[in-house]
A and B are shown apart, each in its own frame.
Chain A
C-alpha cells in the first residue's frame, strides 16, 4: 500500500522570538515492511542552518535553527511510503522463555534488543513496577505464547482506559495515567511498554501515523488527526512485532512508521527551544495520511 503523508506543525508565539532551535523526528525511516519513496521537510521561516543526522537508534533526525526574530514557525513534513502487508505473526514461545532469551542475548543482538528491556525516563519501572505488573497480570498467565499475551495486554488497556485527548500533557507521568485510567496514544504506548518491560520483555516505542481517510465503509482509527504512537515487542525468530493499544490491534498496513526509541522522549516529532520573552505559544498540528492509487503497478 502506498501512502502520502503530510504532517504540518505550526507554532505561533505571542511575541517575536530572537532565536530558535528545533530537533525533529519527522523523516520516516525505512523498515522491514516499509519503503520510503521520498521524504522532505519544508520550514518557514527559512532556517539559517539545518543539518540531518542519525541517532543512536538509526532514526533520521533533522536539526535546524532560525537565528532571527520570528513570531511563528511552520514545519511541513511530506513523504511517500510503501507499506507491505505484514505476515500475521505466529503466537511464539511462552513469554517466560522470551524473558530468559532476552537476558541471554550477547553480541550485536544484545545491543539491538536489551536496551529496550529496562526503565527509561518516561517509563519509570522503579516507581510504577507494582502497578504495571498488576495491569499485566491477566494478560500474562504462565506459559502463554508471547504474541497472544501482548495482544491480550493491548486489548486490556484498550478496554479499561479511556482515550481522552484533553486529559494529558506531554509530561504526564505514568502514575497519573494509571490513576485516572485515561490518556492518549503515547500514554497507552508507555503503559504497554512499561507492562512488558516490568516482566523482563524488550519493548520499544514507535512514533508514526495511521491512515486518516480510510476507504469507504471503513471507520477512521483513533488518533488519525495527529501523529500517532504504539509499541513494538521483540519476539525471538520474528523480530519486532508492533501492537497498537490505542486501537486494540496489531498494526496492519494502515500504520506508517517514522522512528522508534525507548519512549516518547527519544523520538518526539518536534522538540525545541526558543529564546525570547516568556509569552504564550500556540501549537497546531495537522496530519493527513492518504492512499495513493495512481501508482498501481
Chain B
C-alpha cells in the first residue's frame, strides 16, 4: 500500500517545477470559472481562488478514522436537530438554555412543533484541522448550506492536469476518485421525497452569491435546474417552477441560499419565495437541508451541543473542538512562489442518504496564513485533498433516479437569458466585424479616408453609429471627417465591450445549458471585453475577438442541446442578425451632406464592400461574381439569398422553423409577414425593421414577462 509520504516524495518539490505547475493550475481554474466573470468587470474583486499545486495527501487509514467520525457526527446532529425542533428534551433538562436557544438568530420558530422533515441534514460538511500531536479537531460544522463539493470537483480536475503523473492512468489505483460523489448527492436528494420521480432544483441566489460558480457546476453535474427565487412560486401549499409551458411542480429544493433568504414571508426573511417556509412545514415540498438547520452553526450555542448529544443519544460527539491554545500541524505549501510549511484546514463532505451516510474521499483544503482565524482564512489558497486507496471512493453505481428531461421543460428565466445571450452575441459579432474591416481598410488604403472631402469616412462613421444604436447625428463641423471616424471607431469598440459584457452576464446565468468547452471561449471574450472597454482595438485584436465569437457561434450551433431554451436563444440570434442586415442595407443609402449628393463611384463601391464584409458575405459575393461589388448583386446576397446564412431571408426562415418547433401560433403569424416586407431593391427596410422589433416585443411579452421582485408590506402599531 502506498503511503502519503511515498506519494509526495514522487512529487518534485523544487520551486521552479512547482511554479510551472502553478501556472497550469491557474490556467485550468481560470478556464473553469470563465462563465462567471461578471463580477470581475464590476470591480468587486472576486478573483478566482488559487490552487496550491501540492496536494494534501491523507493516508487511507487516517481518512477511515475521520470518515467514521464524520458519519457519527451526522447521525448525532440529526438526532440533536430532531430534538431542538421537536420535544426539546435537551432544553427541558436545561442542557441547552431555552433563553439562549430562543435568542439565536438561526433558531427557526416556524419549524418548532411542525411535522419533522424526512431528513434534517441531507448534506453536511465539517472543517477539521490536524494538531501537532497528530490528532484532529473540529473547527466548525456546516449544516445550513454546506459549500465546497463543486469546488472540490473543479480542484480535482485541475490537479489531474497539474499532477498527471500521480493522478494519471498508472496512478489511478492509488488516489481515491471523488467523481461518484455527485451521484450520491443526487440519490440522497431524490430519497427525501415521497414522490417516485421527484423534480429537484438547485436553489441559488444568483450571480451575487460568491458560490454561484459552484451552484452552476453542481446543477450541470446533477442534471437539475438551477433556479433563482423569481423562478419559483408557492400555490396552495406546493412549490412550482415557472417554465415556458406553465407551472411545473417542484418536490425537492437543494437549498444553496441561507435560510434567512428563502422566504420573505418568514419572520426572519428578507428575500426569496413567499410562502416557501409554510409549504415546507406542511410537507408540500422538501427543503434540503431542512429549514432551521443553521442553528447548529451558531457559535454562541456550539458549546452546548456535545452535552446535548450525549444526553440524547448516549454517545459522545466524536472529534473535539479546536481549542484556542492548540498548536496546528503543518504540511508543505507553495505560496506566492515559495515552498514552505503551513497549517491547512480541511473541509470534509457527507451526504445523508437512504443507505446511510457517505463521506467524500477528498475535500477542500484551505491554507492558513499566520494569525488566521481557521474559520475564515485570509488567503484564497486552496489545496486538493487526496485520500489514498481507491476502494475508499464512493461506489458510482446507484439506482438511477428518474428525472424530468432538462430539454423538455425550461425555466422561463433560463429561456430569457438564452434569448438575450443570442442577441448580445450577434450584435457583438456585427460590431467587431464592422470595426475590423473599417480599421483595416484605413490601414491598407490610407488615401480613401480623406477622399472627396472625407465622404468615405463620413459613410463609415454613419454605418458604425447605426450598428451601435446611436442616434443619427449631424456632422460636427469643427472636426475633420477622418477625426470623426476615429472617434466613432472608439465609441463602437466601447459598444462592443458592453455587448460582450451582456453576453458574459447572460452566459453566466445559463452556464448549465452551454457546452463545457464554452468556458475557454468565454474567458477569452472576457479578456477582450476588459481590453476594449477603453475604446481602443488594433485590427489583430478585433480578429482574435471575431474568432472567439465564431467559436462561440460554432459551439452554439453544434455542441449545445437544441431544446426549447436553445431555440429561444437562436430566436434572439436570428432577430438580431436580421436587424443587423437591415441596418447595413439602410446604411448603404447616400448620406445627404453639404458636399453634395453621393453618386456611384469608388466610395460607394468601397462602402458596399465594407457592408458585405461586416455581414460576413464578402467571400460569398466574390466567389459568385468575381467582379467589383455591384449594388444589385450585393443587395440580393444580403436580403434574399437563402443559401447565405447571413441574409435577411435566411434569418426569417430560421425564425419560422423555431416558432413552428415551439408550436407558437402568434409567433408564426408575426414571422410570416417578415418575408414579404423587403424587395430586392431594399425598399421596405423600415417596415421590416418595425415588424422585427414587434416580433421581439411579442417574444418578450408572451414568454418572459418576468415577475418583479417582492416588496415587503408591514403594518404598524400605535
Contact = CB atoms under 8 A, between A and B. Distances in A.
Interface in A184-238: 184-186, 202, 207, 223, 225-229
A274 B713 contact: yes
A88 interface: no
Interface stretch (B88-96, B528-536, B629-637): B88-96
A244 interface: no
Nearest to A164: B718
Given A19-B707, A276-B711, A53 B718 contact: no
Contacts of B715: 9, 170, 227, 268-271, 283, 285
A275 B710 contact: yes
Centre residue among B93, B708, B709, B716 by max chain A CB count within 10 A: B716
Interface stretch (B36-44, B108-116, B363-371, B404-412): B108-116
A234 to B, nearest CB: 12
A221 to B, nearest CB: 12
Interface string A37-72: 000000000000101010111000001010100000
A279 to B, nearest CB: 9
B705 to A, nearest CB: 9
A69 B712 CA distance: 17
Interface stretch (B49-57, B98-106, B546-554, B618-626): B98-106
Interface in A91-139: 105-108, 110-111, 113-121, 125
B710 A51 contact: no
A165 interface: yes
Contacts of A184: 717-718
Contacts of A18: 707-708
A149 B267 CA distance: 32
Interface residues of B, number: 41
A229 B103 contact: no
B102 A115 contact: yes
B237 interface: yes
Contact of B92 (A11, A108, A266, A281): A108
A268 B265 CA distance: 12
Which one of B93, B102, B275, B712 has the highest number of Cβ atoms from chain A below 10 Å of its Cβ? B102
Contact of A227 (B112, B274, B717): B717
B511 to A, nearest CB: 27
A111 B113 CA distance: 12
Contacts of A225: 718
B590 interface: no
A115 B101 CA distance: 7
Interface in B680-713: 707-713
A165 B717 CA distance: 9
A294 interface: no
A106 B93 contact: yes
Contacts of B109: 55-57, 266
A278 B716 contact: no
B710 A274 contact: yes
Interface in A277-292: 277-278, 281, 283, 285
Nearest to B101: A115
B278 interface: yes
A226 B717 contact: yes
Given A114-B99, A273-B264, A229 B717 contact: yes
B411 to A, nearest CB: 17
Contacts of A227: 715, 717-718
A264 interface: yes
Interface string B584-597: 00000000000000
A255 B275 CA distance: 32
Contacts of A65: 235, 275
Contacts of B599: none
Contacts of A207: 717
B80 to A, nearest CB: 16
A201 B415 CA distance: 56
B103 A120 contact: yes
Nearest to B109: A56
Contact of B716 (A202, A273, A285): A285
Nearest to A55: B109
B710 to A, nearest CB: 4
A249 to B, nearest CB: 18
Given A108-B92, A117-B99, A185 B265 contact: no
Contacts of A223: 717-718
A269 B717 contact: yes
Contacts of A55: 109-110
B711 A273 contact: yes
A271 B712 CA distance: 8
A118 B99 contact: yes
Contacts of A277: 708
Interface string B231-249: 0011111000000000000
Name which of B88, B109, B717 has the most chain A CB atoms within 10 A of its CB. Answer: B717
B714 A268 contact: yes
A297 to B, nearest CB: 34
Contact of B91 (A19, A67, A111, A169): A111
B711 A278 contact: yes
Contacts of A57: 109
A262 interface: yes
A238 B717 CA distance: 29
A262 B336 CA distance: 52
Contacts of B98: 105, 110-111, 113-115, 117-118
Contact of B718 (A125, A169, A226, A276): A226
Interface string B254-277: 000000000011011000001100
Given A67-B235, A106-B92, A186-B717, 6 more contacts: A115-B99, A223-B718, A270-B714, A271-B714, A272-B265, A273-B265
- The 4 A-B pairs at the shortest CB distance, nearest first, are namely A118-B99, A114-B98, A115-B102, A118-B103
Interface of B: 88, 91-94, 97-103, 105, 109-110, 112-113, 233-237, 264-265, 267-268, 274-275, 278, 707-718
21 contacts: A9-B715, A19-B233, A21-B265, A23-B265, A56-B110, A108-B92, A111-B88, A111-B98, A113-B98, A114-B98, A116-B99, A169-B716, A223-B718, A266-B109, A268-B714, A269-B717, A272-B713, A275-B274, A275-B709, A275-B711, A278-B708
